A and B are shown apart, each in its own frame.
Chain A
Amino acid sequence: MSLFISLTLNGEAREVSIDDPRVTLLDLLRERLALPGTKKGCDRGQCGACTVLVNGRRANACLMLAAGLDGAEITTIEGLARGEDLHPVQAAFIEHDGFQCGYCTPGQIMSAVGLIAEGDAGSDPERIREGMSGNICRCGAYHGITLAVQEASRRMAAKDEGGAA
């Protein structure tokens, strides 16, 4: 089998050859497209380390067959910052110590970006914790993660209002 798919990957149009239908989006990113920021934890959809945005929505890259993604827009942790300017979620994770070892962090951050876009949680810590439950942190940095998502959520909402005014 050989199949070409078109992706918009971190804003850049890419043509990618898929020579085996078993390749997941996660393995495509890490092993074939030199984007190792997205992490492989459980590889079964249980830990959230592989979270990326697919067409603007958070998803577990480990359970997506790459062959099915023709035309998709993918955003990974590598595509979040604008040059030296960190995304508000990235900045808030640093500010609030939202990590220790860092392995789950790309997935946590991508999941938080997705959660904020979904708009259900706002800055309610209980709703943030529930909304982030698909991301496991072995170091137990959950307190800092919750604070970081609250902070980023507030800042992004304020910026949206500022932009609209």
Chain B
Amino acid sequence: MKQFDYVQPKTMDEALASWEPGASWLGGGTNLVDLMKLGVAQPQRVIDLTRISDLGEITFQQNGSVRIGAMVSNADLARHAGFAQHFPMVAEALLSGASGQLRNMATVAGNLMQRTRCAYFQEETAACNRRTPGAGCDARDSDEEARALLGASPACVATNPSDFCVPLAALEAQVEVRGVNGTRQIPIAEFHLLPGDHPERETALEQGELIVALHLSAEAARFARHARYLKVRDRTSFAFATTAAAAALQMEDGIIVEGRLALGAVAARPWRVAEAEALLVGQAPDAALFARVAEAAMAGAEAPVHLEWKIDLARRTAARALAMAAAGTPARLPALPASPFGQQNGDLAHV
């Protein structure tokens, strides 16, 4: 690991003042410290944000919206009873990610800032435009499975590995960020950037800005009775998604009033297609309907021959997540959260 200068500010103002080009914000460290060991991240200064007390709160407002502090841990958010009741598929996604230890450490902001798990990004000797602009992309002609099927560019085929961000995209979360020029809110759909010619620009954050909180609106809770996250992976637990989907339905008298669908692990950001969601409106839940919606959600997907199965898998994952959502949110999360295996539905929640 390269040497760095470590600071631990106690206030937000101190944190912002301690930033300089080449610095990195540190939350739980589960991604950054790992990348520093690999030599992939080489910050000259590490600014530890974990002692800034007001970043650690989960606050429900009078109107039912929630503000989640940047340094709230994945485990604390997933286990917050009120939060899990209003936004069950977010809790399910969080609990399907990483391990018990890592969920205790990893933070909300760190999850939004998580780097790609593309093997070529993590291997210092491989060419990677995301890590070293202009270096080329060794992943493009490789058999890497963590490859974008949508929104990729000649410069980069990396995916965003986050589980958490997938339901956040479906529920249209807002990211509250702060810099020396003040505070602003970024819709989650605009937070992660597609690679284009500049894959090294990964998020909408400006230099020196940091995430202070995440907001979910009260309206997002209207999907709570029919909301699921489904994640297909190489092993049943503690693995990144091969494909994933967050599906949320608002249903009245057996008819879908509104539907949301976001796909994970298929692009550099969670993938949402308005035309696909529009197909759900006014319909009764049905396998053929969900297959059409999944097809529309994956419109334009491209894969090399050896990865064509992943397009099919992503469609099936989306259709199955919709079917699970239609069946209803379970009163208690299954033993294997977001898994296609095991008991899927016991008693349904009556939120």
Contact = CB atoms under 8 A, between A and B. Distances in A.
Interface residues of A, number: 37
Question: Taking each of A48, A114, A129, A134, which has the highest tally of chain B beta carbons within 10 Å of its own beta carbon?
Answer: A134
A126 B99 contact: no
Contact of B101 (A111, A120, A129): A111
13 contacts: A21-B4, A21-B6, A44-B34, A45-B34, A57-B75, A58-B104, A63-B29, A63-B30, A63-B102, A114-B101, A118-B75, A126-B336, A129-B237
Contacts of A65: 6, 26, 29, 33, 46, 48
Given A68-B50, A124-B335, A134 B4 contact: no
- Interface residues of chain A: helix, strand, loop or mixed (majority): mixed
Nearest to A60: B101
Contacts of B50: 68
B335 A126 contact: yes
Given A60-B101, A60-B105, A64-B29, 5 more contacts: A63-B34, A115-B100, A126-B335, A130-B237, A133-B99
Interface string A42-60: 0111001001001001111
A22 B1 contact: yes
Interface in A64-84: 64-65, 67-68, 70
Interface of A: 1, 3, 20-22, 24, 43-45, 48, 51, 54, 57-60, 63-65, 67-68, 70, 111, 114-115, 118, 120, 124, 126-127, 129-135
A140 B99 CA distance: 18
Contacts of B3: 20-22
Contact of B342 (A3, A115, A126): A126
A21 B5 contact: yes
A108 to B, nearest CB: 12
Contact of A43 (B28, B37, B46, B79): B37
A65 B33 CA distance: 8
Contact of B100 (A58, A67, A124, A126): A58
Nearest to B38: A44
B37 A58 contact: no
Nearest to A135: B99
Nearest to A128: B335
Question: Taking each of B75, B104, B236, which has the highest tally of chain A beta carbons within 10 Å of its own beta carbon?
Answer: B104
Interface in B1-51: 1, 3-6, 8, 26, 28-30, 33-34, 37, 46, 48, 50
B37 A44 contact: yes
Nearest to B339: A130
